[in-house]
Amino acid sequence: MQVRRSKTRRREALGALAVGAMAGGAMAVGALAVGRMAIGFLSIGRSRIRRLEIDELDVKRLRVHEVVDPRDEPADP
């Protein structure tokens, strides 16, 4: 004898399945990203290290040339 399920139960089950599939997909994508980062860190070459140093210098240069709005500064008494 087959038990008949209601439409709401079926929808709930499908919704739970969909949410589980999306969560699993997100975890898989995250794991791939972490794996690629780990491979990148393990296989850093000299040129890549130089590029990272240049990027850090660029960031410092950007911080020096940052535009400051005078309205954000506290007023001197």
- pLDDT tens track of the chain, all 77 residues? 566 667 788 888 888 888 888 888 888 888 888 877 776 666 655 555 556 565 566 555 555 545 556 666 666 65
Place of tokens 């709930």: 12
| Separation of alpha carbons 75 and 17, rounded Å | 58
Question: Is 1 domain-assigned?
Answer: no
Alpha helices in 1-77 (DSSP H): 7-42, 46-64
Question: Is 72 domain-assigned?
Answer: no
Question: Is 30 domain-assigned?
Answer: yes
Domain span at residue 61 reads 7-65
Residue 9 is predicted with a pLDDT of 80
Question: Is 77 domain-assigned?
Answer: no
Q: What is the tally of structural domains in the chain?
A: 1
Question: Is 76 domain-assigned?
Answer: no
